[in-house]
A and B are shown apart, each in its own frame.
Chain A
């Protein structure tokens, strides 16, 4: 099953995402911020990266920017989980290399549907 890296500084969101994904059989790695995620992404290849936008240490956009620099993450789908309906963050995220986004609040079903979409 595909391996997912779930990044969020909010424990409840992270656990919700991880729980949902694990329940659907995905292999989930959790990270608490961009820095943490970058370390974990290096040590274990993720098939999809789901990341929150606003985080301490390293935000989601910077994380994507850093990950895209790594050859093994060049084509990996990376989704921003964001409440920001404002376009500029999405544009910034896209410019950094994000595949797309999932607008919070989302429910577990939407999360799985989106993921399925990305993984094909």
Chain B
């Protein structure tokens, strides 16, 4: 039977990458000098699984590489090897190398052999270094060529059955090596009254007449080595012709099948037992078996490597024949879902089905009296639907630890490169968010963490001089708030330097020389394209390409980022993101005859227009004065080209939205309800439209556009280049 095991490759790679992550975090958590056995065990287990799978699937380089790592770890685990910093560093590098090797193997691409060999040599060097005697390959096989057969004494201990082993199986297996003459020793059999069916009382003497190596004979009894007294002695060539005593033949051939399992009755059958297995079948099997066993003679090690080679050959053939299809299959992404979530989903569906059948039953002979029941049913349907929706959304939700996990390593590597002492604190790593959001927030987070390490935290001497502890703390925190997720990256470093940023901003012309912006505005300048105050451009950060990309990425996700800073105490970056991109809380507004949706997250308040609070600037742009703030008014109907219900401002409402820290007032005809809407992409179904982030289908079947508030404002600025951009802090004098 041939089984194509390549179908399990994807699962193998997925779990291997998880294993690598576990190894990495385990290694980072190891305290030098005082190894925590459980931690080493976890790392070991991960390496072990990767190796095991690699062996099975024929990835030889991976097997070899992990084997050495595993040996190192095993020595650490057993206390033979100290957990040194060098060892941990080397293992971390090896984890990286192994990762690259796995990626190359998965993608069926060539890997950097030099780097691989160097890593392999480093590992081998470390292994050889502290170990006095390298483990000698255990090839202790002395094939007694002169023997024409073997005399085997097999005396199982009474508990043999309790290990699940069956003497009949062993005899049968031995018979596959050649013709056997079996004598049963029933001397220990007690009187029937004392007979215990679970105890093995019998022993056997077997004469195997076949020129097979001793190892082959011993291999048959490999599993029962400690559960039996076993003696294997050679039968030497010219023995005086031993005539087999012709007695009842038992065991030793395939015919014996019925006696195969539970041995409780068998002692009785074997009691008289001398068996001679020179039946034709046994002879036949013996010949083929001895050929097969001759191959095994070289010991297990050799056998294994032969298998590995043949597995490799097979997979190489597969690659050639079906490389395209396999490559395509490897590209698919998958998501691991907790069984509980799937169960929840099935449960919801179950309830939905019940509700549906209830409503169906109601529709037969429906009368007005049933109206109340119908309402109830519909309410239940709504509940079920909402539950189902929540359950389905939760499937895409993953704990943010998937994203946070890379930081211990990053912080460790960077801080040692920068000569800083940094402790990383991670909070709220179980906070869940949508997989897509998580994937897209990864890079911005890395930027922010790098920045905090490079610019925020000081070197130990500066910290000590400032009266702080030598080691700085970097905190990652995540929590849910108001239907979204908040991620905070904070440090207890020097904080942002207002003066330096302001100078740079003036130099770049972002800020006029006479302006005196607020702290918040100054800190906001760091998100401007090309902005960097770093004196030296390091390979860590300082090229000024980071922060604007960070803000743009976060904005693309419908989120915001703000900075808080206190000189000398540290800085905090707070990122606010929607939990998912697929559903959004929206405010339905009517403009003319059309309904639009404004994301609730952007809305600050909605209000009725107060007569006299609207002023016009240069005849074109209107400004609304709201509690001593001036808000530019955006007439949505003009922008969207719709005939408004009324052009009189007094008949309209204002929706105050905030974009990039600035407030604007959107002019709408009517506020409708608030509801969760499912976002349908316009880009995939139609094309990208400025000012519109997507569309959704309303309860009545109509399509409504979801407004992209930032886009609307940009559109507005393009239409009227002279729209004054009043900073939010501009107060009425």
Would you call A98 and B163 a contact (CB within 8 A)?
yes
Having A9-B45, A77-B165, one finds 15 other A-B pairs with CB under 8 Å, namely A10-B15, A10-B53, A12-B15, A12-B53, A12-B57, A19-B3, A24-B1, A54-B44, A75-B262, A83-B51, A85-B138, A104-B52, A105-B56, A109-B2, A112-B1
Can you show 8 pairs from A to B with CB atoms below 8 A apart? A19-B3, A23-B1, A52-B52, A54-B48, A74-B162, A99-B163, A108-B2, A120-B168
- Are the CB atoms of A103 and B304 closer together than 8 Å? yes
Taking CB atoms, residues of chain A closer than 8 Å to B45 are: 9, 54-56
Q: Is the CB of B164 within 8 A of A83?
A: no
Given contacts A10-B53, A54-B44, A104-B56, contact A120 B1 (CB under 8 A): no
Give the number of A-B contacts (CB < 8 Å): 126
Which of A93-120 touch B at CB < 8 Å? 94-95, 97-101, 103-110, 112, 117-120
Q: Is A16 an interface residue (CB 8 A)?
A: yes
Residues in A neighbouring B165, C-beta threshold 8 A: 77, 99-100
Given B42, B51, B173, which contacts A117 in the complex, CB threshold below 8 Å?
A: B173
Contact A15 B11 (CB under 8 A): yes
The CA-CA distance from A94 to B222 in the complex, in Å, is 11
Per-position contact with B for A2-35: 1 when CB-CB < 8 Å, else 0? 0000000111110110011001100000000000
A118 x B304 contact (CB < 8 A): no
Contact across chains for A99 and B164 when beta carbons are under 8 A apart: yes
Q: Which 6 interchain pairs have the tightest Cβ spacing?
A: A105-B55, A120-B260, A100-B223, A99-B164, A12-B12, A77-B164
Given contacts A13-B52, A16-B5, A99-B165, contact A105 B15 (CB under 8 A): no
A93-B223 Cα distance, complex, nearest whole Å: 10
Asked if B548 is an interface residue, CB under 8 A from chain A, the answer is: no
Interface residues of B in 195-231 (CB under 8 A from A): 198, 222-223, 225-227
Is B49 a contact of A54 with CB atoms below 8 Å?
yes
Instruction: Scan A47-88; emit 1 where CB is below 8 A from any B CB, else 0.
Output: 000001011100000000000100000111110000101000
> Size class of A's contact patch?
35 or more
- Residues in chain B within 8 A of chain A (CB atoms): 1-3, 5, 7-9, 11-12, 14-15, 42, 44-45, 48-49, 51-58, 63, 138, 161-166, 168-169, 172-173, 198, 222-223, 225-227, 257, 260-262, 300-301, 304, 307-308, 311
Q: Shortest CB–CB separation between residue A29 and chain B, in angstroms? A: 15
Contact partner of B52 among A85, A91, A95, A105, CB < 8 A? A105
**B226 touches which one: A11, A91, A104, A118 (CB < 8 A)?**
A91
**Chain A positions near chain B (C-beta within 8 angstroms):** 9-13, 15-16, 19-20, 23-24, 52, 54-56, 68, 74-78, 83, 85, 91, 94-95, 97-101, 103-110, 112, 117-120
Q: A9 and B161: CB pair below 8 A?
A: no
Residues of B within 8 Å of A74, CB to CB, are: 161-162, 198
Given the interface contacts A12-B8, A13-B53, A99-B165, does A20 sit within 8 Å of B304 by beta carbon?
no
Which of A24, A105, A106, A117 neighbours the largest number of chain B CB atoms within 10 Å of its CB?
A105
* Bound CA span A95–B224, Å: 11
Question: Which B residues touch A15, using CB under 8 A?
Answer: 8, 11
Quote the shortest CB–CB distance from A8 to chain B (angstroms): 9
Contacts of B227 in A (CB 8 A): 94
Q: Which chain B residues lie closer than 8 Å to A106 at the CB level?
A: 56, 307
A69 to B311, CA, bound (A): 39
CB distance from A22 to the nearest CB of B (A): 10
**Chain B residue nearest to A99 in the complex (CB):** B164
Known contacts A10-B15, A120-B169, A120-B260; is-contact A109 B1 (Cβ 8 Å): yes
Q: Measured between C-beta atoms, what is the minimum distance from A112 to chain B in Å?
A: 7
Closest residue on chain B to residue A120 by CB atoms:
B260
Choose from B49, B162, B166 the contact partner of A120 (Cβ within 8 Å): B166
| Shortest distance from the beta carbon of A90 to any chain B beta carbon, whole Å | 9
Chain B hits for A55, CB < 8 A:
45
Question: Chain A residues with Cβ under 8 A from B166's Cβ?
Answer: 120
**Given contacts A15-B8, A103-B304, A107-B311, is CB(A9)–CB(B169) below 8 Å?**
no
Q: Which chain A residues border B8 with CB–CB below 8 Å? A: 12, 15-16, 19
Q: Which one of B53, B57, B168, B223 lies within 8 Å of A101 (CB-CB)? A: B223
Q: Which B residues are in CB contact (< 8 Å) with A19?
A: 3, 5, 7-8
Residues of chain B contacted by A23 (CB below 8 angstroms): 1, 3
